[in-house]
A and B are shown apart, each in its own frame.
Chain A
Amino acid sequence: GAVVSQHPSWVICKSGTSVKIECRSLDFQATTMFWYRQFPKQSLMLMATSNEGSKATYEQGVEKDKFLINHASLTLSTLTVTSAHPEDSSFYICSAERGGANTGELFFGEGSRLTVL
């Protein structure tokens, strides 16, 4: 199956710093990637849809200036949490759909657990 790699898998940072999370599709091209956050015992909440070569589409209530998304190539999307605060602590997961596959199947990264002190 297709592989999506996410890095780092966990990060602890001080309040006010910025954290970048990378999402890579290792064996396929991903024209679209999705970023989710998940709080304990809750479902995945879509934050934004990342499209290669264009601006990300953010869901209602998600601050685009706080969660910067860059999808610079067909295999890499990054999420930067700027000026992180403790309430940003969460499990962030990316997913990608294989370009041209048309199956609708999402391949998920391993997730990144962010803890802001």
Chain B
Amino acid sequence: QKEVEQNSGPLSVPEGAIASLNCTYSDRGSQSFFWYRQYSGKSPELIMFIYSNGDKEDGRFTAQLNKASQYVSLLIRDSQPSDSATYLCAVNGASGTYKYIFGTGTRLKVLA
């Protein structure tokens, strides 16, 4: 089982819709969770991080964490074509280690 799993996609949504990106992780000891956006040929850039169970909102983005289910998600409201990118889920602090584990990423396509 992969440590951090994401559906590779592509996930296609129409402009203005809500895009829902999901991520599961295997280590219950994981401490912090990050969503990065990566455009083709570019480095990842941080969208959001979340440490506690529940929702965290920042503009059009909402991160949701459920540690019991070992599940973290990212919702993008009012999706724009410029949101089209690969979204990487990253998990840190698993089992006392200070190591970031990245998922394979979900490719999002927002259709104009």
| A44 at the B interface (CB under 8 A) | yes
Contact A106 to B46, CB < 8 A, known contacts A43-B105, A44-B88:
yes
Q: Are B49 and A103 in contact (CB under 8 A)?
A: yes
Q: Considering the complex, which residues of chain A in the window 76-114 have a beta carbon less than 8 Å from any beta carbon of chain B?
A: 91, 93, 95, 103-111, 113
Q: Are B102 and A104 in contact (CB under 8 A)?
A: no
Q: How far is the CA of A108 from the CA of B27 in the complex (A)?
A: 25
Interface residue stretch chosen among B11-19, B37-45, B62-70, B76-84? B37-45
| B24 at the A interface (CB under 8 A) | no
Contact A108 to B34, CB < 8 A, known contacts A34-B100, A43-B104:
no
Q: Are B103 and A43 in contact (CB under 8 A)?
A: yes
| B73 at the A interface (CB under 8 A) | no
From A44, A46, A110, contact of B99 by CB (8 A): A46
| A50 at the B interface (CB under 8 A) | no
Residue of A nearest to B89 (CB): A43
Residue of B nearest to A45 (CB): B102
Q: How far is the CA of A44 from the CA of B44 in the complex (A)?
A: 9
| B32 at the A interface (CB under 8 A) | yes
* B104 surroundings in chain A (CB, below 8 A): 42-43
Q: How far is the CA of A34 from the CA of B93 in the complex (A)?
A: 15
| A25 at the B interface (CB under 8 A) | no
Q: Are A104 and B32 in contact (CB under 8 A)?
A: yes
Residue of B nearest to A57 (CB): B99
Q: Are B43 and A43 in contact (CB under 8 A)?
A: no
* A93 surroundings in chain B (CB, below 8 A): 43-44
* B99 surroundings in chain A (CB, below 8 A): 46, 49
Contact A104 to B34, CB < 8 A, known contacts A44-B44, A109-B43:
yes
**B interface, CB within 8 angstroms of A:** 31-32, 34, 41-46, 49, 88, 90, 92-93, 98-105
**A interface, CB within 8 angstroms of B:** 32, 34, 36, 42-44, 46, 49, 91, 93, 95, 103-111, 113
Closest 8 CB pairs of A and B: A108-B43, A43-B104, A104-B32, A44-B102, A111-B43, A43-B102, A104-B92, A108-B44
